Structure 1
Amino acid sequence: MTGTAQERVVDALRAAIEAGEYPPGEALPSGEVLAEKYGVHRGTAQKAVRQLAAEGYVALARRKKPVVRERPRHLTVVRDRNVYRDEIGYYFDQNAKDWRPLEKPTRGIAVPPEHVADLLRVPRGQDVFTRNRLMGPADAQVAAQVATSYIPMALVGELPALGSEKPGAGGIYDRLEDYFDAPLEWHETVSARLPNAEEQAALRVPAGSPVLVVTRTASIRRGDEVIVAEVNETRMAAAQFAVSYSVHRDESAAWPRGEEVA
């Protein structure tokens, strides 16, 4: 083996977990046992275990042995850049079209993150209306996605159905298109970050395991005005998701190629 002592322990434990030597739900040996097994100091073994926790292989709890986590063997969803529709309404994950809220969605009033306020074109620190959902397959025990919609208060005042517990068939997107008599347009940005406490609990991910964040802006036209009607942030365990899309040629990359410039 090469690398530092800690890296060697991490690699060995990771391989053992992947091979099933330590199955999901089973505790790893104590730091003392691991140190003796791999011929390292106890502190080195403990650092190796913390690194595995950051990678999502084990879960840590105070005064308890680290427990091996269930790890996905395949990607749950591969997102693309299309919006789809079925008898229920619009949806954005082709592989997740049958997902439903795993518990009753919640509504409220809250100050959004600053970047969301900027996208909504409302002053930072100003309250907006929120709709929160934990989404996943109907038989799932753990949410696959945490989705939060942020809607300007002024728009909810103008169109109260946006704040209703049951906005009707097609949800808030159909209500917006019906009211404005225009099609919605969406723009998504995908990023990654470490989860907050709420996301750790809902998605069952450790503090050091990143979440994928899809920030989607829904805009609609009223005459010459473009109104940002909603910003939706969907968070999911990064280890279970991927983003897939076709790569289109810009005019500068057209085929057949034009005359090359020397």
Structure 2
Amino acid sequence: MGQRGRKPPSGGHRDIAEALRRDIEAGRIEEGEELPTGKALAEEWGVAPGTALQALRLLASGGWATPRPRRPAIARRPPEQTVVVRDRHVYRDQLGYYFDQNAKSWRAVGEPSRGLGVPPGHVADLLGIPRGQDVIVRDRGMGPAGATVAEQLATSYITLALADAIPALRAADTGPGGIYDRIEEVLGAIEWRETISARPASEEERERLRLPVGAPVLVVTRTSTVRSDGRELVAEVNETRMPAERFAVAYTVERDASARRPDDGEEEGTEVV
């Protein structure tokens, strides 16, 4: 292990974590190198073992270490952040729809899966079905062409009733335009609404996205809505998850009529002094 920097005088767990972070950032500890154990850090800094373990946990929570059961943690450098621009538009090319210009050229990483499954409770609520009821689940990892590790995971949930009405929604290959074209051919135009949230990654998400324990993911929950028999029907719910440390979401802020510029004219009867 390389020569580490001088330790701060207080020796608290935050100081220890910060010293290790600086060493990783400066290359004195290389990415992929084993970090000192809690016992070794406690001896080096003259602190209690619990304080040393707190420092390692803090380092891992910031993305600078990957914990391993019964083995020393591994140093890592958090990746640079990529901005995902979701500008309130849906786009289409010869392959079908996409919702992010940056991901236009992305392709499936690995083999997409489909089958029956129980959706998360909030997804069942959006679909308007009882919680615990099976639905069609279509899942895929996505990333740049040639990628071997997915940059994001996208899972579509479709009710069995809709899949019975549109059998192509169960197929491995849903044809040009994918499930959205198949839905619109039968039910008419789709409208989409997205909600963005964040949560800790699940064990499966950590494995597929190669994330450390405790890493958060951004979750874009998109509902596909159509008008059927005079009522609104949620035809599909899609949840797209991406590493929060790698991605940020940007969008255009539109000016409402109430937010006009001062030089657009004064209201009648208003005197400027």
- Same fold per TM (> 0.5)? yes
**Aligned counterpart for 1:94 among listed residues 84, 96, 101:** 101
CA distance in 2, matches of 1:87, 1:2: 62
Question: Contact 1:79 / 1:242 at 8 angstroms: preserved in 2?
Answer: no
Task: Quickly say closer, same or farther: Cα 1:35–1:175, change in 2 above 3 A.
Answer: same
Of Structure 1 and Structure 2, which has the larger fraction of its residues in strand? 2
Question: Contact 1:55 / 1:208 at 8 angstroms: preserved in 2?
Answer: no
Partner SS, residue 138 of structure 1: coil
- 1:141 corresponding residue in structure 2: 148
Any idea what the Cα deviations from partners look like across 1:72-118, whole Å, max 9, x if unmatched?
A: 12326344332111111100121111111111111111111111011
- Quick check: 1:197 aligned with 2:176? no
- 1:245 corresponding residue in structure 2: 251
Q: Which blocks of at least 5 consecutive residues in structure 1 are unaligned?
A: none
Q: Which blocks of at least 5 consecutive residues in structure 2 are unaligned?
A: 1-7
- 1:123 corresponding residue in structure 2: 130
- The size of the alignment, in residue pairs, is 259
- Quick check: 1:210 aligned with 2:216? yes
State the TM-score, normalized to the length of structure 2: 0.88
Any idea what the Cα deviations from partners look like across 1:139-189, whole Å, max 9, x if unmatched?
A: 223211111100011000000001111010110011111222x22110000
- Quick check: 1:176 aligned with 2:205? no
State the TM-score, normalized to the length of structure 1: 0.91
Question: Contact 2:85 / 2:100 at 8 angstroms: preserved in 1?
Answer: yes
Partner SS, residue 23 of structure 1: coil
Partner SS, residue 48 of structure 1: helix
- Quick check: 1:50 aligned with 2:25? no
Q: CA deviation at 1:207?
A: 2.5
Question: Contact 1:77 / 1:240 at 8 angstroms: preserved in 2?
Answer: no
CA distance in 2, matches of 1:142, 1:77: 18
Partner SS, residue 215 of structure 2: coil
CA distance in 2, matches of 1:117, 1:84: 27
- 1:12 corresponding residue in structure 2: 19
Partner SS, residue 219 of structure 1: strand
Q: CA deviation at 1:70?
A: 4.4
Partner SS, residue 165 of structure 1: coil
Task: Quickly say closer, same or farther: Cα 1:2–1:110, change in 2 above 3 A.
Answer: farther
Question: Contact 1:80 / 1:243 at 8 angstroms: preserved in 2?
Answer: no
- 2:4 corresponding residue in structure 1: none
* Higher mean C-alpha deviation, range 76-85 or range 206-215: 76-85
- 1:31 corresponding residue in structure 2: 38
Question: Contact 1:219 / 1:226 at 8 angstroms: preserved in 2?
Answer: yes
Q: CA deviation at 1:4?
A: 7.2
* Higher mean C-alpha deviation, range 69-78 or range 216-225: 69-78
- Quick check: 1:230 aligned with 2:236? yes
Q: CA deviation at 1:19?
A: 1.8
- 1:219 corresponding residue in structure 2: 225
Partner SS, residue 115 of structure 1: helix
**Aligned counterpart for 1:71 among listed residues 73, 78, 82:** 78
After TM superposition, where is structure 1 displaced by more than 6 Å over at least 4 residues in a row? none
Any idea what the Cα deviations from partners look like across 1:193-251, whole Å, max 9, x if unmatched?
A: 01111111111112311111000001112352222110000111101111111212233
Partner SS, residue 111 of structure 2: coil
Letter of the 2:211 counterpart: V
